[in-house]
Amino acid sequence: MRQVTVSAKIDEELRRRLRELSIKPSEVIRRALEEEVERRMREELYKKVEAASQIVSRVGIGEWVKAIRESREER
């Protein structure tokens, strides 16, 4: 996978603490970004599922049964 560079400005004191603790900012930033992307993707999926659920709930049970039977008969 091709990688690109992303930069962020941080306070000098924070940079000093990172060095003292031997923390690699790139690893922390990468992990944080991956987690945020995953969280947002889950949120978007949840919204889509909610919208689909509202649409599906409008269809009566009889219509579902009919659609399933017709689908089985097509096989």
Does 4 map to a domain? Answer: no
**Is the pLDDT score of 75 beyond 80?**
no
What's the 3-state SS for the chain? Answer: CCCCCCCCCCCHHHHHHHHHCCCCHHHHHHHHHHHHHHHHHHHHHHHHHHHHHHHHHCCCHHHHHHHHHHHHHHC
Does 3 map to a domain? Answer: no
Does 32 map to a domain? Answer: yes
Higher pLDDT, 13 or 67: 13
Does 5 map to a domain? Answer: no
Q: Encoding tokens for residue 55? A: 């649409």
Confidence (pLDDT) at 37: 98
Q: Encoding tokens for residue 29? A: 């930033």
Q: How many domains does the chain have?
A: 1
36 touches 13 (CB < 8 A)? no
Does 26 map to a domain? Answer: yes
The parent domain of residue 65 ranges over 12-74
Confidence (pLDDT) at 59: 84
pLDDT digits (tens, 9 = 90+) for 9-65: 999 999 999 999 999 999 999 999 999 999 999 999 999 999 999 988 888 888 888
